[in-house]
Amino acid sequence: MTTTLTPLDQIAPFKNEAVKDFSDPADAAAMRAALTAVRRTFGGHYPLVIDGRKLETEKKIRSLNPANPQEVVGLTSAASKEQANAAIEAAAKAFGSWKHRSLVERAEYLFKAAALLRERRFEYDALLVYEVGKSWVEADGDISEALDFLEFYAREALRYAQPQPVVPIAGERNELVYIPLGVGAVIPPWNFAGAIMIGMTAAAIVSGNTVVLKPSSDSAIIAAWFVDLLHEVGVPPGVVNFIPGSGSEIGDLIVTHPQIRFISFTGSKEVGLRINELAAKPQAGQKWIKRVIAEMGGKDSIVVAADADLDAAVEGVAVSAFGFSGQKCSACSRAIVEASIYDEFLEKLRARVAKITVGDPSDPGVYMGPVVNEGAVESIGRYIEKGRREGRLIAGGGRIDAQGYFIEPTVIADVAPDATIAQEEIFGPVLAVIKAKDYDDALAIANNTEFGLTGSLYTRDEKKIQRAREDFFVGNLYFNRKSTGAMVGAHPFGGFNMSGTDSKAGGRDYLLLFMQGKTISRKL
């Protein structure tokens, strides 16, 4: 397909997509219509896509509605080892021509994808409500971020298409250009099933790489939709190949395949470390050191200093801990509060959490929906039982008697800094509250985990802010605001230690992870 390129001088500066709050009756009506329309697609079949061809398999992956697991949102074909190999071969073949497309031309595909996704925004919102249990606002925030990634990375590609600065040398003409890596495995999570999946895929292909996309089994339908959208805007066959499947069957094969040049992964620490280990060992026929781009979670703290605006701090902790049922790697799972305000903070927090509505997220009045699946319910339940022994339960603590995967927003106070629920990532609506002797103690506690993703500090004291700038060891640090809600371009996202490779998604460094530099010199 030939594509008409947008002149550079006609491309507006990047601006974040506004998230709908659905107070506009037209937006609310459009969302209700989308929910009805998407419900009509329930039970649909979504094949593999390899080299542009759709392939049905006998083995299927069922995507369930976590608010009502009796409802099958859709079924995707599950890839076998042979089909995973075929997808990698197709991507390798497509790379031969895709790498020669200019950055400008590849950026145009992202602009077109963003335009089409914006037209279908409410349908994608509705699918997220059903497939992963997001509230209306959380779902639209997810798709808004996906739009931001497409728009931002397209502009970043145009920036890299310009001459890169080098020091001039008399008698030579020197250039620094960035070229693609090759075939990549993109392995996104289910919790930001739109934004992270779309962002990882878009960054890879706009940089000139080709992709095998293996989505989470809990959110494979939206990935199928997006692959179809890419083909609809003209992305050539083989550039993105869609191969959902179990990690135990095809995960290791994809990571270790000698034709895979890089792995872009977002998920748990355990899986990320295994990917890193497998990728580090060269295979027969492999000509490169594989690159691993990993974001692996966190155990994020909000520190509340004695001089903080207490009401603002309580609100920030509550929305950071219980937005999307705490299923964000940036979620606040530890509130570290100075002793002099600890009791007052707890009382205000208890009252705030009592106002949180839990239920089917297709209802616009619901703030917190279900967790993603039965396995999550069981895992979170074990942590809550552990927390009852490690601290004092002051809110929640149980599974809500409903047909879906609903857990009460849970707060456990008086937790020791080294307790299990203060150290391990729970990934659910469970908050540990820790009493700190003073501000120094609070910062020491904030840094005492193996993670380093996000953190917040509530204080009015500029000296405390400056101290945190230097000593609060996280990739994304916020003052007097929640720990969630990083915005593309404004808050490049990625963390330290076991939180991953500090990939800074949505930042000016990100596309460099998918390219390699080449210096070209010519004697005059």
What is the CATH number for 382?
3.40.309.10
**CB under 8 Å, gap of 24 or more: what pairs does 274-278 form?**
275/187, 278/252
Q: Which residues are catalytic?
A: 295, 329
By residue range, what is the domain housing residue 407? 300-487
Measured distance CA(79)–CA(213) in Å, rounded: 11
Tokens describing residue 20: 């709908």
DSSP three-state, residue 163: coil
Q: Is 492 part of a structural domain of the chain?
A: no
- Strand, coil or helix: 402: coil
Interatomic CA distance for residues 31 and 28, integer angstroms = 5
With b for 16 or more beta-carbon neighbours within 10 A and e for fewer, the 40-78 pattern comes to: eeeeeebebbbbbeebebeebbebbbbbbeebebbbbbb
CATH no. for residue 513? 3.40.605.10
Q: Quote the tokens at residue 88.
A: 């990698």
Torsion of CA 85, 86, 89, 94, to 10 degrees: -140
* Same domain for 279 and 243: yes
In the chain, the number of structural domains is: 2
Residue 348 shares a structural domain with residue 213: no
Q: What is the pLDDT of residue 1?
A: 42
344 and 284: one domain? no
Give me the pLDDT at residue 6, please: 61
pTM: 0.97
* Helices first, then strands: H and E counts in the chain: 15, 21
Using a 10 angstrom Cβ sphere, with 0-12 exposed, 13-18 middle and 19 or more buried, the burial of residue 401 is exposed
pLDDT value, residue 7? 56
Residues 225, 368 within the same domain: no
Asked if residue 166 and residue 142 are part of one domain, the reply reads yes
Any alpha helices (H) in 447-518, and if so which ranges?
462-471
What are the tokens at 429? 């609506």
Token pair of 491 as six digits: 């808050």
Strand-pair partners of 393: 412
In a domain, 39, yes or no: yes
**Statement to judge: residues 290 and 312 lie in one domain:** no
Residues 282 and 368 in one domain: no
For the chain, give the mean pLDDT. Answer: 97
Residue 477 lies in a domain: yes
**What pLDDT score was predicted for residue 467?**
98
How many CB atoms sit inside 10 A of residue 362's CB? 21
Q: How far apart are CA 35 and CA 239, in angstroms?
A: 31
Continuous segment of H or E residues that includes residue 83: helix 81-98
Q: How confident is the model over 310-352, as pLDDT tens digits? A: 999 999 999 999 999 999 999 999 999 999 999 999 999 999 9
Paired tokens of 463: 């000296």
Residue 9 lies in a domain: no
Predicted pLDDT at 376: 97
In terms of Cα–Cα distance, which of 184, 374, 378, 187 is closest to 271? 187
Residues 266 and 346 both lie in one domain: no
Query: Do 163 and 242 have their domain in common?
Result: yes
- For the beta carbon of residue 7, count every other beta carbon within 10 angstroms: 7
Neighbours of 296 (CB within 10 A): 26
Q: What are phi and psi of 248, to 5 degrees?
A: -65, -25
Cβ atoms of 267 and 189 closer than 8 Å: yes
- 141 and 90 together in one domain: yes
Question: Is 14 contained in some domain?
Answer: no
Element at 310 (helix H, strand E): helix 310-322
Pair 289, 323 in one domain? no
Q: H or E segment at 387?
A: helix 374-390
Interaxial angle between packed helices 136-161 and 103-119, expressed in degrees from 0 to 180 and rounded to the nearest 10 = 160
Asked if residue 125 lies in contact with residue 143, where contact means CB atoms within 8 angstroms, the answer is yes
- Burial of residue 281 (CB within 10 Å: 0-12, 13-18, 19+) is exposed
Residue 122 CA to residue 284 CA, distance in Å, equals 47
Residues of the chain with confidence (pLDDT) below 50: 1-2
Would you state the pLDDT for residue 10? 79
Q: Are 135 and 368 in contact (CB under 8 A)?
A: yes
Rounded to an integer, what distance in angstroms lies between the CA atom of residue 421 and that of residue 195? Answer: 28
Q: Is 8 part of a structural domain of the chain?
A: no
Answer yes or no: do 180 and 80 share one domain: yes
66, part of any domain? yes
Q: Measured between alpha carbons, how far is 197 from 220 in angstroms, rounded to an integer?
A: 10
pLDDT digits (tens, 9 = 90+) for 289-320: 999 999 999 999 999 999 999 999 999 999 99
Asked whether residue 15 is assigned to any structural domain, the reply reads no
